[in-house]
Chain A
Amino acid sequence: MSGEAGYAKPLPTVTHEDREFWAAARQHRFVLPECRACGHVWFPPYASCPACLSFDRGWTEASGRGTVWGFTIMRQPYIPSFEPELPYNVVLVELEEGPMVYSNLVSIDNDDIACGLAVEAVFEDVTDKITLIKFRPS
Chain B
Amino acid sequence: MSDREFAGKTAIVGIGSTDFAQLYRSTDPERTGESLATEAIAAAIADAGLEKSQIDGLITGGLPHYEPVAYRTGLTDVRFVVDYPGAGRMCAMALMHAATAVHHGLADYVVLFNSVVFRSQGVKFGAQGQGLLYDTIYGMASPGAQYSLAFTRYQAEYGGTEEQLGAIPVAIRSHARMTPGAIMQQEMAIDDYLAARYIAQPLRLFDYCLINDGAVAYVVTTAERARDLAHPPVLIAGTAGRANFREWYVDLGFWDEACRSMKADLFDPLGVTTDDIDCLQVYDNFSVSVLWGLEGFGFAPQGQGLEWVQNGRIALGGELPINTSGGMLSESYLQGWNQHAEAVRQLRGQAGERQVPDCDWSLYWCLSALPGASLLCRDGLL
Contacts and interface: CB of A to CB of B under 8 A. Distances in A.
Interface of A: 9-12, 43-44, 69-76, 78-80, 82, 85, 87-88, 90-92, 100-104, 114-116, 132, 134
Contact of A72 (B132, B134, B148): B148
A69 B197 CA distance: 25
A82 B138 CA distance: 9
B138 A73 contact: no
Contacts, number: 101
Which residue among B149, B197, B252 has the maximum number of chain A CB atoms within 10 Å of its CB? B149
Given A76-B200, A100-B133, A115 B139 contact: no
Given A74-B141, A78-B124, A115-B153, 6 more contacts: A70-B149, A78-B145, A101-B133, A102-B133, A102-B138, A116-B156
B248 interface: yes
23 contacts: A9-B139, A10-B137, A12-B137, A70-B149, A70-B250, A71-B149, A72-B145, A74-B139, A74-B141, A75-B197, A75-B199, A75-B201, A78-B124, A79-B136, A82-B139, A88-B139, A90-B145, A100-B248, A101-B133, A102-B133, A103-B138, A104-B138, A132-B138
B274 interface: no
A102 B135 contact: yes
Interface in B88-145: 124, 126-127, 129, 132-142, 145
Interface of B: 124, 126-127, 129, 132-142, 145-146, 148-153, 156-157, 197-203, 246-248, 250, 252
Contacts of B135: 102
B247 A44 contact: yes
Contact of A102 (B134, B150, B153, B157): B134
A100 B201 contact: no
Contacts of A69: 153, 252
Which residue among B157, B198, B201 has the maximum number of chain A CB atoms within 10 Å of its CB? B201
B142 A100 contact: no
A35 to B, nearest CB: 17
